[in-house]
A and B are shown apart, each in its own frame.
Chain A
Amino acid sequence: RKEVEQDPGPFNVPEGATVAFNCTYSNSASQSFFWYRQDCRKEPKLLMSVYSSGNEDGRFTAQLNRASQYISLLIRDSKLSDSATYLCVVQYNFNKFYFGSGTKLNVKP
């Protein structure tokens, strides 16, 4: 079983749509959670950390459900520039970070 699992997509949505991604993780001792964005042939870049209380950054909202061991990312009012692969990352065992294989988002005009 993979440490972190994501729906690979792709999610094809029109501009202005709201889209949500989920990610599940297997280790209940996981301590920190993140969403990264990766553009084609580029390095991953931090989009946002995910806190137990949930957090919002502009059009992006992240939620954590420890009981069910999943995290989610909601993108409102999608822009063309949001097209990318979104990676779910879970940290436990001190310095080890585990990546999901990513969910691809295509925002179309």
Chain B
Amino acid sequence: DAMVIQNPRYQVTQFGKPVTLSCSQTLNHNVMYWYQQKSSQAPKLLFHYYDKDFNNEADTPDNFQSRRPNTSFCFLDIRSPGLGDAAMYLCATSRDLPGGEGETQYFGPGTRLLVL
């Protein structure tokens, strides 16, 4: 059974046209992440939610926003996609453990974004 679901798997958008990617999870994990991964590069953390607390990475462009309306769902909004935003977008979840140690992350299959 899928535990972290991302829709759509492939998304084509036009330069400057807002796009929303979605992620849902059945694990009831309190932490959810969005990563951007370009070819042959490491996944780059954009932001994460600890429950409802939003944590933005310092170098994440303002063009990227996120919403987490409840525990199960998290959205990535790209307000004005540029050609450089074409990438795989990965959603992940994890369960926070006492003491600050991180349990492993569980990844969704990703959404591949193409900007025309």
B19 surroundings in chain A (CB, below 8 A)? none
Q: B109 interface residue, CB < 8 Å from A?
A: yes
Interface of chain A, helix or strand or loop or mixed? strand
A100 surroundings in chain B (CB, below 8 A)? 42
Contact of A31 among B40, B100, B110 (CB under 8 A): B100
Q: B105 interface residue, CB < 8 Å from A?
A: yes
Chain B residue with the shortest CB-CB distance to A99: B42
Given the interface pairs A31-B101, A101-B41, the reply to whether A94 lies near B107 with Cβ below 8 Å is no
Chain B residue with the shortest CB-CB distance to A43: B107
B110 surroundings in chain A (CB, below 8 A)? 42-43
Given the interface pairs A32-B101, A95-B96, the reply to whether A43 lies near B108 with Cβ below 8 Å is yes
Q: How many residues of B contact A (CB 8 A)?
A: 28
Q: A49 interface residue, CB < 8 Å from B?
A: yes
Judge whether B42 and A31 touch: CB under 8 Å: no
Contact of B102 among A42, A45, A46, A97 (CB under 8 A): A97
Q: B31 interface residue, CB < 8 Å from A?
A: yes
Encode A83-108 as 1/0 by CB contact (under 8 A) with B.
Answer: 00001010100111111111000000
B109 surroundings in chain A (CB, below 8 A)? 42-43
B55 surroundings in chain A (CB, below 8 A)? 95
Identify the 5 closest CB pairs spanning chains A and B, nearest first: A91-B102, A43-B107, A99-B42, A101-B42, A32-B102
